[in-house]
Amino acid sequence: MRPIDRRFFRDNFLGLSLTLVGVLCLVLSGISYLNHRQLGRFALASGGGLDGADIEMLERQNKAYERIAESVTPAVVSIQSTSVVKVQQSPFSMDPLFRQFFGDMIPQFNIPRQYREHALGSGVIVSPEGYLLTNNHVIRNASSIDVLLSDKRNFKAKVVGADPQTDLAVLKIDARELPAASLGDSTTLHVGDTVMAFGNPFNLSFTVTRGTVSALGRSQYQIEDIQNFIQTDAAINPGNSGGALVDVRGQVVGINTAILSGNSGPGGEGGSIGIGFAIPINMAKHVMQDLINSGKVTRGYLGVSIYPVTDDFAKEFHAPDTSGAFVQDVTAGSPADKAGVKYGDIIRKLNGQSIADSAQLRVMVTEMNPRTAVTLDILRDGKPMTVRVTLGELPANLAAQGGSRGTSPGPTEGTLKGIEVQNLTPSIRDQLQLPENVKGVVISQIDPNSPAAQVGLQGGDVIESINRQPVSNVIEFNRLAAQAKGRTLLRVNRQGQGQYVLINPSGDDGSDNQ
């Protein structure tokens, strides 16, 4: 074998270099391959995860939520309603050529046009025979209602009855042996309880969210005529309306109905910001049973106009605190009137249950049936009394009508300055449609910057008394008004409804009829 010398390396330098580069590439490829296999094994390795008593408790909790979802979902439905909307429109209003020449002066021939409007919502199966509970606003004015079950079956639904005052409606589909939801007792709820919301938000069928009960007895925002909402942070979105709010026992405790919205949903619809409202199921049961049995809802009626007990009212009428409902007026001939309830009374308890405020009393009475005998614990000028009342039936419409003005001079100084009044004549009484038992003077004009205007008094109001002293004519009004310095209590009748008004820098009209 010929020895390898320098000449050999010089003559074969290019070939040896290429060989060396190739070997290095092979070595690097091998290293990369081995590293890749090790990395792959590392990424795909399965560990045992966490364990321990606390983790097992969370797993059991998850299993419980899964059981609730599996139990309730078959009783939740998706609802699509269709309504026909008619509008008056010119045939030229959408023509760009006519708009170019006429602008907004397009001739209007008021040709009626129709278009279909769709609403999406949810519902709850409440009986195996096909009765469903949902919100009235989901099916209001609907010409067609389609119901989709969780097993993908579709049905046409008819409206059994609706109650706009609570925004509830009952539907019926032609089906049997349906999976009905278990209805619970909403009075057992407490703030902090875990609840789950079922429904079809943004048409995402059969969605479940979880949260807590944030508050009870919410009555702000005037969402409905009669409201006593459960507030929850379980996500409720458009499409959830009419769906179920469920407790940890899998029982329906509320019907989801409204949200405070940040307009964050697809297409600009309002989305959840963690504040949703549900109608308590106990209220819904009463409405549902009445609608199924008779097609209308009957409610208890006391016959009083009630107001929150403010600090000023509590002081003026010798109440120890602001709990209860302040009686502004008593309707003549009503159950309360017959039982001896008087304006100025503070209703503290109904059937032994404490009344937090006027909204609670109204809900409690309206959830009772007519001809129900109840016991009221009241304070009359600080003295406790007990009154027994047999409830009547709440009239369909309690609104009063009318209002008129005249002219007459009034005080120029003091708390009641800026008010001009006149005597309540028979003709003015007829114009205002006031009952014969209303006595006083009528406000004909009022300075918008006066203390009285600041608390809401207006033309057409009848002042019946000043600081509990009756006013029957202009002379008595002027005499008592001249004595009114500082805080002044008025008895005022507006459109047939009496109420007390304290002239103070603060205060708003939170009165209510019941």
Name the E strands within 283-391: 300-301, 304-308, 325-330, 346-350, 353-354, 373-380, 383-390
Cβ-based burial of 437 (10 A; exposed 0-12, middle 13-18, buried ≥19): exposed
Question: Which of 241, 305, 334, 511 is the catalytic position?
Answer: 241
Question: Which of 163, 167, 290, 329 is the catalytic position?
Answer: 167
Give the CA diameter of the chain: 145
* Encoded tokens for 388: 């027994």
Cα dihedral 190, 191, 194, 197 sign: positive
Question: DSSP readout, 221-282?
Answer: GG-SSS--EEEE-S---TT-TT-EEE-TTS-EEEEEEEEEE-S-SGGG---EEEEEEEEEHH
Tokens 């619809």: give the residue.
Answer: 269
CA neighbor of 240 nearest in space, from 288, 206, 193, 195: 206
The continuous run of DSSP H or E covering 27 comes out as: helix 13-43
Q: 217, 280 in Cβ contact below 8 A? A: no
Angle at 153 between CA 149 and CA 158, to 5 degrees: 70
Helix locations, 117-177, DSSP H: 136-139
Count, residues in the chain:
514
* Residue partners of 161: CB distance under 8 A and separation at least 6: 169, 170, 290, 291, 292, 295, 296, 297
SS3 22: helix
Question: Which of 81, 137, 290, 444 is the catalytic position?
Answer: 137
Instruction: Tell me, yes or no, if 241 is annotated catalytic.
Output: yes
CA distances for 292 relative to 132, 163, 169, 254, 368, angstroms: 11, 12, 10, 19, 17
CA neighbor of 400 nearest in space, from 437, 434, 362: 434
CA atoms of 439 and 423, how far apart (whole Å): 9
Backbone angles phi, psi at 178, to 5 degrees: -85, 155
Give catalytic residue positions.
137, 167, 241
